[in-house]
Structure 1
């Protein structure tokens, strides 16, 4: 009973009368994008990662003020990323689209 095949589970997941074209309950597919390779994304990830590393190392050495400094750096990284996104350096922004046009795609 516990040894059911993948096909049987797939049959139960999608009713038999449903065709592949009639799967309207699925979300629409996303258009091709740059997968987050933007200035805003890289800045956010880099600064937040730096703050997390600082905070983690400070936690190991029991340096409470540095733990808080790391937390502040993390918050500043998120704010900087949002500001860059608003300025057009995020996905779909004017600066990102112009850069993609110059470099020929992604």
Structure 2
């Protein structure tokens, strides 16, 4: 993927950062044997996905490529 900008957007960075924080929260509460804290961390992980999609929908994600049009030479133009 050299030369692509896959994931290098504010939406991607924000969503992944929030998800990483959620995984850290879940991991800490897993070690402390606290199921409620673990699931709270999982909610934060899901929130990271929602925030990333919302930011992408707001225009901060990867821009969609313009549709490519193919030009076909007509047979009458060649004669």
Q: What is the CA RMSD across the aligned residues, in angstroms? A: 1.6
Superposed structure 1 runs of 4+ greater than 2 Å apart: none
Tell me which residue corresponds to 1:71.
42
TM-score, normalized by length of structure 2? 0.73
- Any stretches of 5+ residues in structure 1 without a counterpart? 1-29, 94-106
TM-score, normalising length: structure 1: 0.55
Deviations 1:20-52 (A, max 9, x none): xxxxxxxxxx8x532311100001110000001
Segments of structure 2 that go 5 or more residues without pairing to the other structure are 65-79
Higher RCO (CA 8 Å, separation ≥ 6 residues): 2
Aligned residue pairs, count: 63
Q: Please say if 1:38 is aligned against 2:12.
A: no
